[in-house]
Structure 1
Amino acid sequence: MKYIASGFIFPGLFFMAWWLTISGSIPPGMVHTSLFEERAINWLLFFCGFAFISASVMHSLFAKKMAKTIGWVTNGFQYEIAAVSLGLGVSCFYALYWGRSAQVTISISVVAFLFFSGINHLKEVVINKNFAPNNTLILIWDFGVSISLAVLLLLPT
């Protein structure tokens, strides 16, 4: 029960990114833009940077506790997740300042990683009846960010 609150962090970041986009706030890395899509991509990548770096810390330094909140037993998968999360997080921050091609490049990796992570978490819910907070609430983040970025990148510029 004590891990339920942590399950709301990533979905909260997703909704915060959209709230800041809709409110017209200019994200880090942008001087000014009136293009909704550009703001949305940058806000999503900004919060992805924080989320991935924090996931890297949680899956490495606090591996046992993190696995428990997902409803899993810790093993080597977490150190792999930590490594890829660190790379994705740093790359998201990098893309904020290096323009559209950097944003597209990292977004492809983020979309693939989060979408298929979401499929795996959903499989855990359906097949194994794993309703742990960080296995269910994370679906909002996994599918919300991946679908949002995919749609935003496919819009004509």
Structure 2
Amino acid sequence: MVFWVPLLAWGAALFVAIYMVLKGPRPITIGRVIDQLLRYILVFPVGLMGLWAFMGHVFFAEQAAAAIGWATSPFQFEVGMANLGIGLAGIIGAFVRSAGFRAAVGVVMVGFLGGAGVGHIVQIAQTGNMAAGNAGPILYTDFLTPIAVLGLLLLQKLFFRAPAA
């Protein structure tokens, strides 16, 4: 299951974003595409994956640790709580259209998920840990997700500024 969840979350984000763009007003604009992509990346790969990781580390710690190739640890509770915060912030950020709030979510994700991604690479290099929860899709989405959120926010800021009053 650990292998599929990041792929399903990203697939759902892209599917729903495309659906919402096609269902929305015409003409379709790049600004609307970026907005919908950002919204549904915040809902699925950030929000729901954060909540999924929270539940795994807090309520199913042994299974989560095994999927990552770890022994269980009391630190999983702390990792789970960090995931809870990121998940809730992602869902809130999807519906609160504050660029500052969304940027803050992205920055926290860079620190936490980016750091986790670096940790996965170190574990692969030092121990050969190729467990699905360490070297599978989660490794890539630990980098992709925060980069996508911050990159889409940057595109919005650079190319779709509100006209001067």
Q: TM-score, structure 1 length as denominator?
A: 0.84
Counterpart-to-counterpart distance in 1, 2:19 and 2:103: 22
Counterpart secondary structure, 2:2 = helix
Contact kept in structure 1, 2:39 and 2:95, CA below 8 Å: no
Give the aligned partner of residue 144 of structure 1: 144
Residue segments in structure 1 that go unaligned for 5+ positions in a row: none
For residue 15 of structure 1, report the CA deviation from its aligned partner: 3.4
Q: Is 1:43–2:14 an aligned residue pair?
A: no
**Residue type of the alignment partner of 1:10:** P
Give the aligned partner of residue 2 of structure 2: 6
**Residue type of the alignment partner of 2:58:** S
Per-residue CA distance 1:14-37 (angstroms, 9 max, x = gap): 23323433x2525xxxx8784222
For residue 94 of structure 1, report the CA deviation from its aligned partner: 1.2
Which stretch shows the higher mean deviation, 44-53 or 137-146?
137-146
Query: Structure 1 vs Structure 2: percent identity of aligned residues?
Result: 24
- Give the 3 Å change call, closer, same or farther, for CA 105–149 of structure 1 in structure 2: same
Counterpart secondary structure, 1:65 = helix
Q: TM-score, structure 2 length as denominator?
A: 0.80
Counterpart-to-counterpart distance in 2, 1:60 and 1:49: 16
Contact kept in structure 2, 1:125 and 1:131, CA below 8 Å: yes
Give the aligned partner of residue 74 of structure 1: 72
Which stretch shows the higher mean deviation, 42-51 or 147-156?
147-156
Counterpart secondary structure, 1:104 = helix
Counterpart-to-counterpart distance in 1, 2:141 and 2:7: 5
Contact kept in structure 2, 1:112 and 1:146, CA below 8 Å: no
Aligned ranges 1:1-157 → 2 under 5 Å: 5-21=1-17, 23-25=18-20, 34=29, 35=31, 36-47=33-44, 48-99=46-97, 100-137=99-136, 138-155=138-155, 156=158, 157=160
For residue 106 of structure 1, report the CA deviation from its aligned partner: 1.4
Counterpart secondary structure, 2:3 = helix
Contact kept in structure 2, 1:14 and 1:144, CA below 8 Å: no
Q: Could you say what the CA RMSD is over the residues aligned between the two structures, in angstroms?
A: 1.9
For residue 8 of structure 1, report the CA deviation from its aligned partner: 1.6
**Residue type of the alignment partner of 1:76:** P
For residue 79 of structure 1, report the CA deviation from its aligned partner: 0.5
Residue segments in structure 2 that go unaligned for 5+ positions in a row: 161-165
Larger gyration radius, structure 1 or structure 2: 2
